[in-house]
Amino acid sequence: MEKTAKIGLWFNRQSAEYFWGHGQDLFQLYVEEVLGHAGIPYARFDDAETLESYEPDIIVVLHPGEKEEDLNRLEQWARRGATLISYGGLNRMAGQMGCTRSVIRDAVYGDLTGLSYAQGIPVLRAVSSDPWMASEKSVIPVQADGVLRRLRKAGAEAAAAVLEFSLGAGRLIRWNVDIPANIVLLQQGGGPVVQDGIPAPDGTGAVDEGILKADDRCELDWNEDRSVTETGMPYFDTPYADWWREVIVRQLMEEAVALGMTLPFLDYWPEGVNQVAMISHDSDFNIEEAAQTTLSVLQENGVRSTWCMIEPGYSPSLYKEIQAAGHELAFHYNALEQEKGIWSAEEFARQLNVIRSTSGAPIISNKNHYTRFEGWGELYVWCEQNGIEADQTRGPSKKGNVGFPFGTSHPYYPIARSDDRNRLYRVLQIGFLTQDLEHPTLSDASVIAPFLEKVAEVRGVAHFLFHQQHIHHLGNVRHAFSQAVETAKRLGYAFWTSEEITRWEQARRAAVLRVGADGTLITENLPQGAVVSQPLDAVADPSATQAVIRFGRPCTGAASIMKAATE
């Protein structure tokens, strides 16, 4: 059996405390979230001696420090045979690597087609980059791969995407894109929401209406990052953050293979599930007749859903009927000033307590009314303080920004800023794609197929929002609902509630995958149905042609592998 590659994450804690003390974010820490969600075994080290004693095969540099001794340490690790991967940074090493720094202040697009492990990955937006330019006079062997360019489709080349340096027995691989930071900025925005966003030039995305919302800090470009359907509906067409996650994982697998090793992982979903669809409703106006219609439509379509309840909510008998049908009761926090809503920790807790007490349900999930959002992470802190374990607020509020405005369809844990030491909030974010298809002021059903196809490519969650009142009053919306469900089922989606997605992700994160001293994979606390997948050699292994593709590689999973790994 092939050895499992040991991946060590290097985080210079002493230097990090200095950076945090000066208000500097270290979003490179988000690599832990990426690997945790991908089910990749790794170990993080805040102390250099402990990392060295672990003898990692691949070292991912999260934060090395800026002192001479810090950078010399990295070079020594590489010369001893380690493979080092850094996402940006290390700028004091540029000169000794025979490179010069270049300044790019705008977003760029990474074309990674030159990389062997990037097959099938689209051109990806990078919110910021910090490129090195290799000199022809460099005495250190350097290989440049991929291209960063100014525009997605026809932009001028700005720099290589990644540089690889041969150092002694090992290598240093430096990305000209800070990939983990880019994932954060795409998913959570380039900064706190404190003012209106920039509206779409074609009039389809008037986010500047005086209401602070999640999509006021969207880092995508209205012109470069949207496509249109056959009926002319614009949409953000690429889950960039999901694909950047794939780049990180695929490269680690590639480097493991180059070392004659393997990198097994815990699959995103349980056995038999490829990707998940989710339906949620927001109970605006709390019209009980609309709720009854929605219950009937759900039964006709054979799906269960998540009901986000706004104060004062429904009658106790209707709550019981919704739960008896297998649906989830959730919270719909109202901070919309036009409806006398208040954005505050006290008001969040008060409204939530009303819904919990009247529904009799524990309520572990929330979506903010009108996607109201302010600041960076206070909503997540309020959720943590009140036992809310998942949030669905990050989605489009306008016709023209449906799709992937935050670059992701995967559930993820958001990251805090430097004042909270860039920790991960204990609140799973499950964003949505669109709402109320075929509503007169929103997008039509032509987006259903492309949305579901794009989510299936990255095996995420296709989350559609339909308000009960629109299902009740608008026949076209009811028909679009059924069309979305039918198309998702045809494409192999499993329908889960927000709570089910959250509980599964929590169970996956509680599982332990670690590498023993002899290179064997050790697994502990695997949830029922979990699949441990093993990448195969597409050339040497004849069974690879029958295997499923995960992270661009044929993989086999899992009952036999799980059994062998846990014995």
- The structural architecture, per CATH, of the domain 235-239+276-506 is Alpha-Beta Barrel (3.20)
- Mean pLDDT on 348-371: 98
Phi, psi values for residue 480, rounded to 5°: -65, -35
3-state SS class at 3: coil
Task: Tell me the average pLDDT of the chain.
Answer: 95
- The phi and psi torsions of 308 (rounded to 5 degrees) equal -90, 115
How many degrees, rounded to 5, is the angle at CA 103 between CA 99 and CA 108?
Answer: 105
Same fold, 7-184+241-266 and 235-239+276-506: no
pLDDT at 562: 38
Least confident of 158-172, 293-307, 315-329, 544-558: 544-558
Question: What was the pLDDT predicted at 192?
Answer: 98
- Nearest-5° Cα angle at 271, 267 to 276: 75
> pLDDT by residue (tens digit) across 132-178?
999 877 778 999 999 999 999 887 888 999 999 999 999 999 999 99
What is the mean predicted confidence (pLDDT) over 475-493? 98
- The amino acid present at 289, given as its one-letter code, is E
Provide the pairing of β-strand 390-391 with 365-366.
Answer: parallel
Taking CA atoms, 292 is separated from 278, 331, 519, in Å, by: 20, 19, 57
Spatial distance between the Cα atoms of 366 and 360, rounded to a whole number of angstroms: 16
H or E element in which residue 449 lies? helix 448-458
Q: Can you tell me the distance from the alpha carbon of 329 to that of 348, in angstroms, rounded to the nearest whole number?
A: 17
For residue 87, pLDDT over 90 is answered with: yes
User: Is the link from the previous residue into 312 a cis peptide, with omega within 30 of 0?
Assistant: yes
What pLDDT score does 539 carry?
A: 66
Predicted local distance difference test score (pLDDT) of residue 540: 63
For residue 563, pLDDT beyond 80 = no
Say how far apart CA 121 and CA 100 lie, in whole Å.
Answer: 28
With cut-offs at 50, 70 and 90, classify the pLDDT of residue 561: very low
Residues 489 and 483: their CA atoms lie apart, in Å, by 10
Ranking 65-69, 408-412, 445-449 by mean pLDDT, the lowest is 65-69
Question: For residues 311 and 288, what is the distance between their CA atoms, to the nearest angstrom?
Answer: 13
pLDDT for residue 442 is more than 90 = yes
Let me know: does 369 contact 310? Beta carbons within 8 Å: yes
Q: Across the chain, which distance is largest between two alpha carbons, in Å?
A: 78
Instruction: Give the domain ranges of the chain.
Output: 7-184+241-266, 235-239+276-506, 532-567
Is residue 22 predicted with pLDDT exceeding 50? yes
User: Locate tokens 């009142």: which residue?
Assistant: 469
Is the confidence at residue 566, as pLDDT, over 50?
A: no
Contact 550, 544 (CB under 8 A): no
Mean pLDDT of 365-391: 98
Report the alpha-carbon angle 98-99-103, nearest 5: 170
pLDDT at residue number 565: 37
Q: Tell me the one-letter amino acid at 150.
A: R
Low-confidence winner among 141-150, 243-252, 256-265, 555-564 (lowest mean pLDDT) = 555-564
Distances (CA, A) of 44 to 380, 438, 482: 25, 48, 46
Closest CA to 444 of 486, 406, 402, 492: 402
Pinpoint the alpha helices (H) of 211-324: 240-258, 288-301, 316-324
Buried b (16+ CB within 10 A) or exposed e, 331-365: bbbbbbeeeebebeeebbeebbebbbebbebebbb
Cα–Cα distance measured from residue 186 to residue 274, given in angstroms and rounded to the nearest whole number:
25
- Comparing C-alpha atoms, which of 506, 552, 550 is closest to residue 531? 550
Q: Which residue has the tokens 């607020």?
A: 393
- Cα 493 to chain center, whole Å? 19
CA distances from 131 to 61, 160, 510, 531 (A): 17, 8, 37, 38
Q: What is the separation of C-alpha 199 from the centre of its chain, rounded to a whole number of angstroms?
A: 25
- The sign of the CA dihedral 373, 378, 381, 382 is negative
Exposed, middle or buried by CB within 10 Å (0-12, 13-18, 19+), for 314?
buried
Query: Which CATH homologous superfamily contains domain 7-184+241-266?
Result: Class I glutamine amidotransferase (GATase) domain (3.40.50.880)
Tokens for 84? 């080092």
Q: Which pTM value belongs to this model?
A: 0.96
Residues present in the chain in total: 567
Question: Which stretches of 414-514 are DSSP H helices?
Answer: 448-458, 468-473, 475-490, 498-510
- Averaged pLDDT, 63-87: 96
3-state helix, strand, coil in the chain (%, to 5): 35, 20, 40
Give the H or E element holding residue 228.
Answer: strand 226-228
Residues 440 and 166: their CA atoms lie apart, in Å, by: 59
Mean pLDDT (whole number) for 506-521: 95
Task: Please tell me the distance from the alpha carbon of residue 125 to that of residue 219, in angstroms, as a whole number.
Answer: 9
Query: Can you tell me which residue has the tokens 């206070």?
Result: 378
Which tokens is 404 given?
């992937």
Strand-strand pairing, 83-87 and 58-63: parallel
How do residues 418-432 score in pLDDT, each as one tens digit? 999 999 999 999 999
Tokens 């509020």 locate to: 397
CA 21/CA 42 separation, integer angstroms: 28
In the chain, the amino acid numbered 345 is A
Query: Is residue 405 classed as helix, strand or coil in its secondary structure?
Result: coil
13 — pLDDT class (breaks 50, 70, 90): very high
Region 224-249: mean pLDDT is 98
Mean pLDDT for 296-318 is 98
